[in-house]
Chains A and B, each alone.
Chain A
Amino acid sequence: MKRTLWLAMVVTVLVVASLALVGGGTFAQSKVVKIGDLGSKVGVFEGYGKQATMAIQLAVEELNAKGGVLGHKIEIITEDDDTKPGPSVRKAEKLILQDDVKLLVGAVSSGATLAVMDVTKKHKVIHWNAVSCAEFMRTTKFHKYYFSNQPDSRMQANGLAKYILDKMGKRVYIFYTDYAMGQSDGRQFKTAIEKLGGEIVGVAGAPLDTKDFSPWFGDINKTNPDVLFVAFAGTDSLRLMTQLHSFGMTKKYKMAGIDCFLLQADLPAIAEPMEGFVQLNHFSPYNPDKDMQAFNAKYKNRFGTDANITSGSYDGVKFWAAAVEKVKSFDADKVSAALEGMCLDGTHVGRQCIRKADHQVVMDMHLYRIEKGKNVPIAKIAGSDSIGEPMVGKDPVEGFSWEIKKKK
């Protein structure tokens, strides 16, 4: 009996020791490279932040299944920035200085992304923006480590303004969310519509996360526009459309909105208020484009939900990994140089190329009309037509004024 006990103890010790050796050996052998996923994971832009995380996850799973990048397993560190510039800067510094991330994807809110750009510039970290669209990112705030595949306000205005004037009406009211993104969209659309001969009959900004929009409705009704153009996003869009509809304004005015106005996943819940709404988007699961369909199938298979515009985060990881493999280094200067002008197949919208001058991905823009809760494609604007000239270091809003110029 005593002998058996001794034997059992020896076997146990051997098993534990061998497991420790195997485990330790695996840990010692596996190399890890971290990437940061920063953005709004709760609150007004929660939907965008969470979907961006899913897109990053999909890219990382695909890359890790093929051995990672430069033999390193990729690990994602996700941080919520409270949709505010202050916390986003603190979290970005934490990701860079504490976690040593080699790529930072984010943020969601334009205000937060603009603030994070200073951090990634200072610490020389590759920064990929896949959601924010303020016009200063590839102009006055631009730096060599910053890249984007989100069409900014200027690209969106180039894509949508002409359609509005040709097909919807000449008298436009611009209602925007009063922070970096909405102000940027408001400025660029006002400029584009006036340049094309349309009339802006009114502009108004409502603070981010406004709960009741009805105080603004009187001014909109007073000007009686042909088109009500709305530059909002997230839960703001949901509330705004519900309230506009309950006041009969979605039927009274033709409506159009920006690229990130509403995620496809949120559309069925407010299908009736959104009926007939013209929205700019670079991705839709209802676009018959074969690349979009292929990506959507993959995304849906993994997460059980349709993909959307935040899937640009997927591309960010894939572009970075391709550049790292190309230069055989994680060094940000070398990776940045490799990314400039790089083209990549298999992104969420097929083949994409990064313009060298301002690190903006050249993307086709699609116009959709909402029909029964679905984004139905109605027009396509080539990326080369909407991207506009590079304006690195130049003020994209020089000479702009919110003043309403009345037409006789």
Chain B
Amino acid sequence: MDYLVAILLPQLLHGLVFGAALGLLALGLTVIFGLLGVMNFAHGELYMLGAYAGIATIGLTQSFWVALIAAPLLVGALGVVTEVTTLRPLYHREPLYGLILTFGLALVFREGARQIWGGEIRRVMPPVTGSTDMLGMTYPNYRLFLLAISSMLLLAIWLFFTKTRAGILVRAAVQDAEMLDGLGVNVPRVFTFSFAGSAALAALAGLLLAPIFTVYPQMGVEMILLAFIVVILGGMGSMGGSVVAAFVIGITQSLLTLWMNPQRVAIAIFGIMILVLIVRPRGFFGREGVLE
């Protein structure tokens, strides 16, 4: 019982907290994959820009809460400009073009951030401080807040995709954009809206995780690898799959650290991804044919 409360429970909570935040990041990535058919390599940099936009807003307003609204809006606006000016001309070309473009965009965003804000590590003070004693353990309040807000956001996104017309249109575009175009829907606008939403989600994840991971130009590169694994495991293009996979990765990673060094856990996670790709290439909930 002591082992369960003192050891397993905190680790499980770590996994849930990290999984929820990872889910936010991976969700945007999977939507863009569904729409464009390519992995957005610049997604990690949008996550990083969200954190920097947050720092800039906090600098101006002294408020994390204002930053939590402003950062996704700013990065979402950048997403609109990026989609219209760079991605849209490539929609009728091979997916490889989009892949190379997003790779280039990632470099531009990362080095741009380095030029503007410098290479040093920046700290974001958590808006919720202190710790809570519960079930015989002490847990930081900010991490509990992160779990709560990430879970609420994931729920809101699910409601958006299932209950609103805009959400249903995005899902339809993911399924069959040509058919949607034939039905008279302005598909380019749906694409722009989706890319902006995906960028805003990445930015939100970036700012929410900033008080834990700190902020620096390379931060997106480290997180995006994990987000790619989540998207592959969940099933390329499957939104629900990404959320499930994010929690699976978060909890697995956290529990495995009880028995092996966290550095080796990272290798184990890649091992799991390779295994899934061999046994079930479409991932947990992916459509047949995407990677088969």
Residues of A within 8 A of B (CB): 42-44, 46, 178, 204-207, 211-212, 214-219, 221-222, 235, 239, 243, 246-249
* In the complex, residue of chain A having the shortest beta-carbon distance to the beta carbon of B131: A246
The 5 closest A-B pairs by CB, nearest first: A248-B138, A246-B140, A215-B262, A211-B213, A215-B257
- The answer to whether B11 and A218 have CB atoms under 8 Å apart is yes
Known: A43-B121, A217-B10, A221-B7. 10 other contacts (CB 8 A): A42-B120, A43-B120, A206-B263, A211-B219, A215-B265, A216-B257, A218-B11, A218-B254, A222-B258, A235-B121
Kindly state the separation between the CA atoms of A43 and B6 in the bound complex, as whole angstroms.
Answer: 35
- For A211, list chain B residues within 8 Å (CB): 212-214, 219
Classify the secondary structure of B's interface with A: helix
Bound CA–CA A42/B118 (angstroms): 10
Report if B225 contacts A (CB, 8 A). Answer: no
- The verdict on B104 contacting chain A, using a C-beta distance below 8 Å, is no
Q: Are A205 and B258 in contact (CB under 8 A)?
A: no
Among B121, B137, B212, the residue within 8 A (CB) of A212 is B212
By a CB distance below 8 angstroms, the chain A residues around B7 are 218, 221-222
- Which residues of chain A have C-beta atoms less than 8 A from B133's C-beta? 248
Which of the listed residues B138, B142, B213, B265 has the most CB atoms from chain A within 10 Å of its own CB? Answer: B138
Report the bound CA distance from A144 to B7 in whole Å. 51
> What residues on A are CB-neighbors of B119 within 8 Å?
42-43
A218 and B119 CA atoms in complex are apart in Å by 32
How long is the Cα–Cα vector from A217 to B120 in the complex, in angstroms? 27
Provide 12 A-B residue pairs closer than 8 Å at the C-beta atoms, listed in order of the A residue: A43-B121, A178-B263, A212-B212, A215-B14, A215-B253, A218-B10, A218-B254, A246-B131, A246-B142, A246-B143, A247-B10, A247-B138
User: Which of the residues B10, B120, B263 comes within 8 Å of A207, measured between beta carbons?
Assistant: B263
B6 near A221 with CB under 8 A, answer yes
B262 adjacent to A247 (CB under 8 Å):
no
Q: How far is the CB of A375 from chain B (nearest CB, A)?
A: 23
B33 at the interface (CB under 8 A from A): no
- The reply to whether the CB of B115 lies closer than 8 angstroms to some CB of chain A is no
Residues of B within 8 A of A235 (CB): 121, 214
Q: Please give me the residue from chain B that is nearest to A224 by CB atom.
A: B6
Is there an interface contact between B257 and A218, defined as CB atoms closer than 8 Å?
A: yes
Interface status of B261 (Cβ within 8 A of chain A): yes
Q: Say yes or no: is B193 at the interface (Cβ < 8 Å to chain A).
A: no
In this complex, the member of B7, B121, B253, B265 whose beta carbon has the largest number of chain A beta carbons within 10 angstroms is B121
Most buried by A among B131, B213, B258, B263: B263
* Interchain CA distance A218-B257 in the complex, whole Å: 7
- Cα A243 to Cα B261 in complex, Å, equals 18
Q: Which residue of B lies closest to A204 (CB)?
A: B261
User: At the interface, yes or no: B103 with Cβ under 8 Å from chain A?
Assistant: no
Contact with A along B1-34 (1 / 0, CB 8 A): 0010011001100100000000000000000000
A247 to B138, CA, bound (A): 5
| B161: interface (CB < 8 Å) | no
Residue in A closest to B10 when the chains form the complex, CB atoms = A218
Closest to A210 in B: B262
Give A219 to B219 CA distance when docked, in angstroms: 26
- Partner of A248 from B120, B137, B143, B253 at Cβ < 8 Å: B137
Q: How far is the CB of B218 from chain A (nearest CB, A)?
A: 10
**Residue B109 is within 8 A (CB to CB) of chain A in the complex:** no
List the B side residues contacting A205 at CB < 8 Å.
261, 263
Task: Give Cα A212 to B143, complex, Å.
Answer: 12
Check if B6 sits within 8 Å of A206, measured CB to CB.
no
A235 to B213, CA, bound (A): 12
Are the CB atoms of A221 and B14 closer together than 8 Å?
A: no
**Nearest chain B residue, comparing its CB with the CB of A246:** B140
Known A42-B119, A239-B214; judge A247-B139 contact (CB<8 A). yes
